[in-house]
Amino acid sequence: MPQARRRTAVQGRWIVVSLLVIDGLIGCTTPEVPPIRFAPYGSGYASKPAFDDVEYRFPLSPADRLQITPETLADLDQEQLDQVYARLTAGAMPDGEFEGKVLVPRGTAGDERLARLAGPFGAAALELKGLALTDVTQILWRGKVFDREHRVLRNRIDDPALLRKLAPTGAQAKPVSIHGQTSGLLFPAKVYCGQSLLDARRESIIADYAFADDVADYQEWPDYLVGRRGLNLREEMRMVRPGFYLGRAYADRVFVLNFALYDKRAARGYGERVAADAAGEEACWAGTQQRRAALLR
């Protein structure tokens, strides 16, 4: 591989990793853990409970879901996040603007996780461009914008200063305005129903970046960084309640992080209807166990 191309690939991987995790490394709080039940587990992998047993013994009621917020999810460890995700279904196909929050599991240091995800690419990229860590933190992932009709999404990046610094000569991300804030809608993905890489008992909403180069407004730079020639990113999401989704991101089918998506407008007013909500609208195949669990409530 030519040296210039190798450097571009190294820089690209570091940028994307930074975009995915940096929002979870700042502004951290310690919220109260939601009062929902979890199956017992230990530190070893063999102690992890089967998801079908978790859902049978501890099904999430509509009232349980109402207690879960993006802030309370941030105070769970990874096993608890997995148990919550496994008890959800895909729900309705999202549409419109969603705020995003990266969830760094309790007991995992954000800077250590960043180092593990970046591997040797981080140090190399910073050395090549002479950048300090403060330059990296200027990139903030703010959420996603879904187009339900065309089954695509784009990621909202505010103040993409580091992208501009690392961009090849002549390359520039097109700015957009959202609620008066100048942002970049970058990194498109195709959205569809598909198998979960964590829990194959039912489908999840999938965001696939591998072949998004035929999406309208695709930009070779920087969108290729998360596609099949970059991180080969794939995300999956399930609905906690209308306007609120819990997601998981994979790079080359290797799990890298959790995230939450929240639409305040869609979530507003849901509390009054939560007791009457049953399965709700399902965009994807919900499996068979969820319907059984609903009958036991």
Ramachandran sector of residue 25 (left: φ over 0; alpha: ψ -120 to 50; beta: rest)? alpha
Mean of pLDDT values over 250-254: 89
Give the pTM: 0.79
How far apart are the C-alpha atoms of 245 and 235, rounded to whole Å?
12
How far apart are the C-alpha atoms of 160 and 157, rounded to whole Å?
6
How far apart are the C-alpha atoms of 196 and 237, rounded to whole Å?
9
Among 167, 184, 168, smallest CA distance to 176 is for 184
How far apart are the C-alpha atoms of 100 and 96, rounded to whole Å?
13
From start to end of the chain, where are the E strands?
A: 96-103, 140-147, 152-158, 175-178, 181-195, 203-208, 233-241, 244-251, 254-262
First vs last Cα of the chain: how many Å apart? 59
The answer to whether 21 and 117 are in contact (CB under 8 A) is: yes
SS3 75: coil
Is the predicted pLDDT of residue 24 greater than 90, yes or no? no
Question: Which segment of 22-36, 154-168, 280-294 scores lowest on mean pLDDT?
Answer: 22-36
What pLDDT shows up at residue 289? 81
Which pair of tokens denotes residue 70?
Answer: 């993006």
Tell which wins on pLDDT, 167 or 232: 232
Is the predicted pLDDT of residue 216 greater than 90, yes or no? no
Tell which wins on pLDDT, 228 or 157: 228
Which pair of tokens denotes residue 255?
Answer: 């799990």
Is the predicted pLDDT of residue 111 greater than 60, yes or no? no
The answer to whether 277 and 284 are in contact (CB under 8 A) is: no
The dihedrals phi and psi of 22, each to the nearest 5 degrees, come to -65, -30
Which pair of tokens denotes residue 10?
Answer: 């190294």
Mean pLDDT of the chain: 76
Considering only CA atoms, give the Rg of the chain. 19
- Report domain extents, the chain: 3-169+186-295
The dihedrals phi and psi of 70, each to the nearest 5 degrees, come to -55, -35
In the block, tokens 């065309």 appear at 150
How far apart are the C-alpha atoms of 110 and 257, rounded to whole Å?
11
What pLDDT shows up at residue 2? 54
Mean of pLDDT values over 15-22: 46
How far apart are the C-alpha atoms of 130 and 12, rounded to whole Å?
15
Report pLDDT digits (tens) over 148-169: 999 999 998 876 566 666 566 5
The dihedrals phi and psi of 87, each to the nearest 5 degrees, come to -95, 5
What pLDDT shows up at residue 192? 98
Report pLDDT digits (tens) over 31-88: 455 578 999 999 888 899 999 999 999 999 988 998 999 999 999 999 999 999 999 9
Is the predicted pLDDT of residue 122 greater than 60, yes or no? no
Of the chain, the percentage scoring pLDDT greater than 90 comes to: 41
What pLDDT shows up at residue 265? 78
In the block, tokens 């520039």 appear at 172
What pLDDT shows up at residue 133? 38
What pLDDT shows up at residue 206? 98
The answer to whether 139 and 58 are in contact (CB under 8 A) is: no
What pLDDT shows up at residue 177? 57
Is the predicted pLDDT of residue 121 greater than 80, yes or no? no
Highest mean pLDDT among 10-14, 17-21, 33-37: 33-37
